Amino acid sequence: LEAMAEAGEAPLRVYNSIDMGDARALMAGGPRDAGDGRIITRAIKFYADGALGSRGAKLFEPYSDRPDASGLMLTSREEVMPLYQEALRTGIQIATHAIGDQGNHDVAAWYEEALRSTPRAEWRLADPRWRIEHAQIIRPRDYHYFSDLPIIASMQPSHAIGDLHFAADRLGDARLDGAYAWHTLVERG
C-alpha cells in the first residue's frame, strides 16, 4: 500500500495499524506517512482477550452458560507495559482488543498506569488517542476510565447485532447492564 501511495496509485486513504509483533520496528522508525497522507501507519493493535461467541472474552465471573469457563487473557501487563510507555514517547497510537469485563478493566488499568507513569514532557503527542477496540462488556464501576483518561471506547454496533442471539445466555442478565453501553459512555463523557 505504501508503495502504491508513493507512486500516486492509492485510490483511498488508509489509517493502518500493525500487529504487536512488529511494534518495535514501528517505534524505532516512528509513524509512517506515504503518498501525502494517503497511507498512514501510526498505530499498533494488541489483543487482550478473545471473543464472546467462543467464550474467549475474559470475564471476572464464569460464563452463565458454561460455569467452568471465564475466558482467557492473550497478553499480560508485563508484556505490554514497556511497549505502551514507548508508544507514548514515539507518537504511536495504541489500539487494544478487549471484549470481556475483566479484559476491558485490565486494559484500562494498564493504560492508566502507562499514561500516569510516563511524564507528559516525554509524550510525543499531547493527545495520544489510545483506543480500546470493541469495549463490549464493561462493569459500570469501570466506566470512569473512559471519562477520566484520554482513551477512546472504539465500539462497533455490528457486534451487538451479531451477539444478539447468545449474549444473554453467555453473560446472564446482571452482566448485560454493562454490555454494549454506547449511550452510557457518551453520557459520561
User: What is the rounded CA–CA span in Å between residue 93 and residue 32?
Assistant: 12
pLDDT tens by residue, 57-67: 999 999 999 99
Least trusted range by pLDDT, from 5-14, 60-69, 77-86: 5-14
Work out the pLDDT band at 183, boundaries 50, 70, 90: confident
- At residue 2, the pLDDT reads 86
Strand partners, 32: 41
User: What is the rounded CA–CA span in Å between residue 94 and residue 87?
Assistant: 7
Burial 51-72 (b: 16+ CB within 10 A, else e): bbeebbbbbeeebbeeeeebbe
- Identify whether the C-beta of residue 48 lies closer than 8 Å to the C-beta of residue 102: no
pLDDT tens by residue, 101-145: 999 999 999 999 999 999 999 999 999 999 999 999 999 999 999
- At residue 10, the pLDDT reads 85
How distant is the alpha carbon of residue 81 from its chain centre? 14
- At residue 189, the pLDDT reads 76
The pTM of the full predicted model, rounded to 2 decimals, is: 0.92
User: What is the rounded CA–CA span in Å between residue 37 and residue 48?
Assistant: 30
- At residue 60, the pLDDT reads 98
pLDDT tens by residue, 134-149: 999 999 999 999 999 9
Average pLDDT over residues 5-29: 90
Taking the CB of residue 186, how many other CB atoms lie within 10 A of it? 10
Average pLDDT over residues 70-85: 98
Instruction: Give percent of the chain above pLDDT 90.
Output: 76
CB under 8 Å to 110, separation ≥6 — which residues? Answer: 77, 80, 81, 84, 96
- The label of the residue with cell 475466558 reads 71
Fold of 2-187: TIM Barrel (3.20.20)
Between β-strands 32-34 and 39-47, what pairing exists: parallel, antiparallel or unpaired? antiparallel
Cell of 92: 504511536
| Domain residue limits, the chain | 2-187
Cell of 36: 501525502
